[in-house]
A = this chain, B = another copy of it.
């Protein structure tokens, strides 16, 4: 991500994990783990593995040179990295670098490591946003406000209920991200690990263990459901953030004014504005996800044992999706942390329709015809219907109970 737009569009920790150094280290971690796994199985000497692992430090390698070599050579950065790593290792151990593996093994495994590392801050920000929503739900469990459907006031809800619905979405998205099956990839030239003779599966298992990744049933170089599941889960997380951000921008409208972001980005020439910048940015980041998910899904239909383009097509959108979703979560956390809630204004807005917001209840008690007559009379609804019937707090149904349920579920994660 660029320096110019990055702070807005790539907020949070995921951005660093998907940056060049993150990818480079992840590829090197894969090479180191491969060497150690092969040493453990007896494919290469233990001393070679240690020499290799010792050289696998990203700061020693030149990302730009590797990138250029990738374009001039095999079309992916792993091959050039392997050459550089062999040089860095030197001696006999150089011959044990990358033994039996293929470029895609390294890039795919690195992608999983990158994802794992990007998901850590992403999930932390998502969790913090959920915690903030939980706080709002708890504090405003019984704060009445207008429920709005199709952007029209409908019947009363509580702000706590609204926050509980946000919370449930954020928690569901986080749970899905936590359950993702991130697995190592190791298959060699075409997936059979032929160059490892009979040791293939043993090396694969040791390799995955080294990295803290799952062992796949078969290599997944040509079977991309893992990428699809990761993409789908990130898309859902972005959407959950986008939903909350949209509600905040709507509640913060000048004419509604029920919430304000703490920071509230002003405008130098329009000092009265309290732009909900964090929510605006969260919305923008979340809006990246659907197209990126689509690109990753479309890349599933690759050719044979390594796709002629569809594999390369994953790198950009996977990184972008982690970054954008992480950024959406980071901005949303900002938006919800210390969100200023104006419960008085909520009450004022509840009364905007002169009691008509309670028409559903009145109709239930008095009959629909009676209510229609009252409305048709042209007299203020409040004069026609008893005050009790018009009390929003008397018509909140299970709102509080739903808040409690969402909070309990949140605490039991």
Q: Is A295 an interface residue when CB atoms closer than 8 A count as contact?
A: yes
> Would you list 27 pairs from A and B whose C-beta atoms are within 8 A, ordered by A residue?
A2-B63, A3-B64, A3-B67, A4-B24, A7-B68, A7-B70, A150-B303, A151-B303, A152-B254, A154-B306, A155-B188, A155-B192, A157-B305, A172-B226, A194-B395, A201-B401, A225-B239, A228-B235, A228-B239, A247-B304, A253-B253, A255-B352, A276-B308, A283-B312, A287-B298, A290-B290, A291-B291
Choose among B63, B151, B247, B311 the residue that contacts A252 (Cβ–Cβ < 8 A). Answer: B151
| CB-based contact B269/A243 at 8 Å | no
Closest 7 CB pairs of A and B: A232-B232, A147-B190, A283-B309, A239-B300, A272-B356, A200-B398, A7-B71
Cβ of A249 < 8 Å from any Cβ of B?
A: yes
Please provide the chain A residues from 157 to 195 with a CB less than 8 Å away from any CB of chain B in the complex: 157-158, 161-162, 164-166, 168-169, 172-173, 176, 188-195
In the assembled complex, A219 has its CB within 8 A of some CB on chain B = yes
CB interface residues, A 362-404, toward B, < 8 Å:
363-364, 368, 371-372, 375, 381, 395-399, 401-402
Name the CB-closest residue of B to A311. Answer: B284
The one of B270, B291, B359 in contact with A269, judged by C-beta atoms closer than 8 angstroms, is: B359
Q: Given A161-B191, A218-B402, A271-B359, is A4 in contact with B67 using a C-beta cutoff of 8 Å?
A: yes
- CB pair B6–A67 under 8 Å, yes or no, is yes
Check A313 for interface membership: any CB of B closer than 8 A: yes
Whose C-beta in chain B lies nearest to the C-beta of A65?
B3
Number of contacting residues on A, CB 8 A?
Answer: 173
Identify the stretch in A36-44, A45-53, A74-82 within 8 Å (CB) of chain B at 4 or more residues: A74-82
